[in-house]
Structure 1
Amino acid sequence: MELEFKGACREVGRSAVLIDEKIMMDYGVSPGEHIKYPVNGSRPEAILVSHAHIDHSGAVPNLMDLEPDVYMTPPTFDLAHMLAKDTLKIAEREGEMPAYDSIELSKFAHQTKQIDTGVEFHAHGYDLEFFNAGHIPGAAAIHVKDKENKSLFYTGDINTSDTRLVSGAVEFPDADVLITESTYFGDEHPPRKEVEKAFIDSVFDTLNIGGSVIVPAFAIGRTQELLMLLDAHGIRPFVDGMGVQAYKIMSKHPEYIRNPTHLKRAFDNATMVAGRKRDGLRLESSVVVTTAGMLNGGPVLRYISRLYKDPKSKIILSGYQVEGTNGRMALDTGNIENDGVIQHLKPKIEQYDFSAHSGDKELKQMVKDFCDRGTQRVFTMHGDNCEGFADWIKEEIGVEACAPELGERFTI
């Protein structure tokens, strides 16, 4: 089995791993001012997509001229298709050259075969199976076995702990080779209950003095989890942005949701806002959960424009803020760029760790469990310190481990 690492090597973004020049696992982009794609030309016969986030799925439509077979879980297909259509729409609106066109997007839908987790299937000479990865609804880790019975397990983005929205990953097969994400190696998440309590206390503190709370949130996963948390404490927020569309997709796949009844109640109790309704909204002692999660575009900027001079209000960031984004600038300087204007934010800015990735302890335990069951080689990717994780595995577990460089190939 030959592996070529074409993205997410000692970085986060553009995940892509090619097996035997036939099977591509993920094919994503690194979003930003200059979008990065996986390196080197590829002509895979099949593509396996772990989950819908664009750093794992965003470049798949670019390969449709090859007419590959594409495999993913049903929620991943619906969510990835939603994001792909939005990406195309944004590019056309902003006068940019899109990476794919509507014909390729249609081919993407036509070429995709939807496979549930826990279902074994065969493709292009390989035995394959998706396993629940926790991360977001539909997220799957990928098990691959070749004709020589050599096996590989690719985690994608994984979370072994339960969240309000999805159950954590608990079932893993034996594998000769493990390819693991490394996002939070060296960083431990605070206990979720403590994070939730601090978040809710902060929201109530603001509402009680007449301020409003803007909660920028990622559309897939974070918006839905936060609405469930707010609903559990009797808070009925406004919800805006693509998170509403993502919820409607998730509701079609209740078997991938930990508590679909609570998710439905949370959205039923929230007030959905879109279009012209935004400007007429009375923002007094209210909570608004809206995209974009890093303050780069989306409805959130319109809400901030109305409240950025109000010291009683708050902006509560619910996820990691990438360098160069408005969210990071807000944390570092208290300013954002909004429609070409620098706005100094008088609302208090807070950040809470609602990560959907395994933390340091969980990552290490997962790798140890694999190696205890016979895994002989580990590759670490998708992180800022992949080399450190590989060194820890070699030193503490005694198994061969490597953090591949971009474009590097290995024979296993």
Structure 2
Amino acid sequence: MIHHGAFAGVTGSCHELFLRPDDSVLIDCGMFQGAEAEADGATGREIEFDLSHVRALIVTHAHIDHVGRIPYLLMAGFHGPIYCTEATALLLPIVIEDALKLGLTRDPELIAGVLGALRRMLRPVAYDAWVTGDGLAGSAGSAGSAGDVRMRFRQAGHILGSAYVEFAWPDEYRVVFSGDIGCRNTPLLPDPEPLEYADMLFLESTYGDRLHESRVDRAERLRKVVERCVSDGGAVLIPAFSIGRTQELLYEIEQLITSNDGIWPKITVILDSPMASEFTALYAELTHLWDADALARLSSGHNPLNFDRLHVVRTHVEHEHIVNFLRTSGEPCIVIAASGMCTGGRMQNYLRALLPDPRTDVVFVGYQADGTPGRAIQQYGPTGGYVEFGDERIHINAQIHTLGGYSAHADQAELIDFVRSASRIGEIRLIHGELTARTALAQQLQAHGYRCPTP
């Protein structure tokens, strides 16, 4: 096993598993972000490892810190199959196109070439279907020869199409990579599928040192933030990842507005992210992957992803107009925009304009990596500090909130429950977490009797 990212950190997920002495597969190929991208002068994109043994890429889900280096992997000479779930196969080209435009090129011919190659390499696989073949270069189906290693995806409940991945050898030895494990009772998504067993489990530990607030508590705190927005005429800014968090927020905001209809004045929900809009449309199409509660709400006449108060910003001109309008108007609204860690995207323009305004509320609903503007706002905003966007220093007078219950990652208790769902666990190796999180989770797993080395 060789780790090429997210071993001693949170971003840049990329792990090389050797199935045989000369055959390996990559599990994810994500981009580094924040301080991890700047380590040793790296840009967070380079492929600086040998690909001669790599036969296939396995993608657990379509977040940028798990797939952002795929264009650079192709340019480095990788031409093998890319296995992912069926939903991820629909989401991935959109993510990669955006990554290319932001970090590499806007040349339409080059982008079309990369996306064409990507689509030819994609091998969509249904949940729970075993894949087998020489170096996993075959197709989904029954087990092959006695020497084959099999692989399958199982529901991880993190975002649409997310999966943890199992590798099984003929002697039933099994290695499992968790990808990102989602929370239970997440809107729209099924809960993570229980783990059967693992002789070696590589487990994410993003929130291994904390417990999330309940879904009821988080909704109540969000309601209070929105009430403040309504009363003082400020804006609520929610930096959110385009896939998963945005759709979950829309689901709960629609419920919140419906339950307060007639009490609050009309409040507009602004979705200002072209990519998030595309993903939201895909979520709306793939209702067969929604959970029972979401389907029941849809059948009762409520559309949590397309409701009357929702306004989708289509153009950059409209985006600039709204930013300037909110800077001066005092019109109550909720703005959801990327990026989730405030490292780029349209959210930065809202923050530049509105962080100095004490009527503004900024709500963080996801992990903020060290070295990102989101972490700086989260850390220094409550004491009236500042954040830097490039060479520009923005002083923070806005109210800053962190709603941990909206995380798409399982907390410490849910990670332990995921482990305990298995009939047996041989050894656990913690990845995808800061040192404090990995240490705390390791200690808890050891206390439950599991073999889990302390980082």
Name the TM-score class by shorter chain.
Answer: 0.7 to 0.9
Given that 1:387 and 1:402 are in contact with CA atoms closer than 8 Å, whether structure 2 keeps it comes out as no
Shift of 1:17: 2.4
Counterpart of 2:400?
349
Q: Is 1:10 equivalent to 2:8 in the alignment?
A: yes
Structure 1 partner of 2:145: none
- Per the TM alignment, residue 92 of structure 1 is displaced from its structure 2 partner at its CA by 4.2
Which secondary structure state, in structure 2, belongs to the residue aligned with residue 401 of structure 1?
A: coil
* In 2, Cα distance between equivalents of 1:173 and 1:62: 35
Amino acid at match of 2:50: G
Residues 341 and 61 (structure 1), Cα distance of their counterparts in 2 relative to 1, 3 Å cut: closer
**Is the Cα contact below 8 Å between 2:205 and 2:441 reproduced in 1?**
yes
Residue 35 in 1 paired to residue 44 in 2?
yes
Q: 1:313 aligns to what?
A: 360
1:239 corresponding residue in structure 2: 271
Would you say 1:175 and 2:227 are equivalent positions? no
Identify which of 116, 126, 136 aligns with 1:116: 126
Instruction: Report 1:322-401 matches (<5 A).
Output: 322-333=369-380, 334-338=385-389, 340-353=391-404, 354-370=406-422, 373-385=423-435, 386-393=438-445, 395-401=446-452
Deviations 1:10-51 (A, max 9, x none): 211222222223222222221245316576313311111100
Report the alpha carbon displacement of residue 311 of structure 1 after superposing the two structures with TM.
1.9
Contact 2:255/2:304 (8 A) holds in 1: no
Shift of 1:360: 0.8
Residue identity matched to 1:14: G
For residues 219-230 of structure 1, what are the structure 2 equivalents within 5 Å? 219-230=242-253
Distance 1:222 1:171 in 2: 23
TM-score by length of 1: 0.87
**CA deviation vs aligned residue, 1:131-152 (integer Å, no higher than 9, x gap):** 1001111100111112333212
Per mean C-alpha deviation after superposition, the further-off stretch among 245-254 and 178-187 is 245-254
Is 43-52 or 274-283 further displaced after alignment? 274-283
| AA matched with 1:290 | A
C-alpha RMSD of matched pairs (Å): 2.5
Query: What residue in structure 1 maps to residue 260 of structure 2?
Result: none
- 1:338 deviates by 4.3
Q: Match for 2:6: what amino acid?
A: A
User: How many residue pairs get matched?
Assistant: 395
Q: Distance in 2 between matches of 1:158 and 1:169?
A: 7
CA contact (8 A) 2:284 2:305 kept: no
- Cα deviations across residues 85-119 of structure 1 (Å, max 9, x unaligned)? 11111134699xxxx96534422211111112122
Q: Give the secondary-structure state (helix, strand or coil) at the position aligned to 1:121.
A: coil
For 1:151 and 1:339, the matched residues in 2 are separated by 46
SS at match of 2:370: coil
Q: Is the 8 A contact 2:10 2:369 kept in 1?
A: no
- 1:141–1:153 contact (8 Å) kept in structure 2: yes
Measured against aligned partners, the alpha-carbon deviations of 1:284-316 in whole angstroms (never above 9, x if no partner) come to: 111111112222221122223443443222222
Q: Which AA in structure 1 matches 2:269?
A: P
Counterpart of 2:68? 58
Match of 1:207 in 2: 230
The secondary structure found in structure 2 opposite 1:113 is: strand
Give the TM-score, by structure 2 length. Answer: 0.80
SS at match of 1:83: helix
Q: Within 5 Å, which residues of 2 pair with 1:127-138?
A: 127-138=150-161
- Following superposition, the deviation at residue 398 of structure 1 comes to 3.6
- What does residue 78 of structure 1 align with? 90
Aligned to 2:25: 23
Range with bigger deviation, 303-312 or 224-233 = 303-312
Query: Does the 8 Å CA contact 2:183/2:408 hold for their aligned counterparts?
Result: no
| Contact 1:381/1:403 (8 A) holds in 2 | no
Which runs of 5 or more structure 2 residues have no equivalent in the other structure? 135-147, 258-266
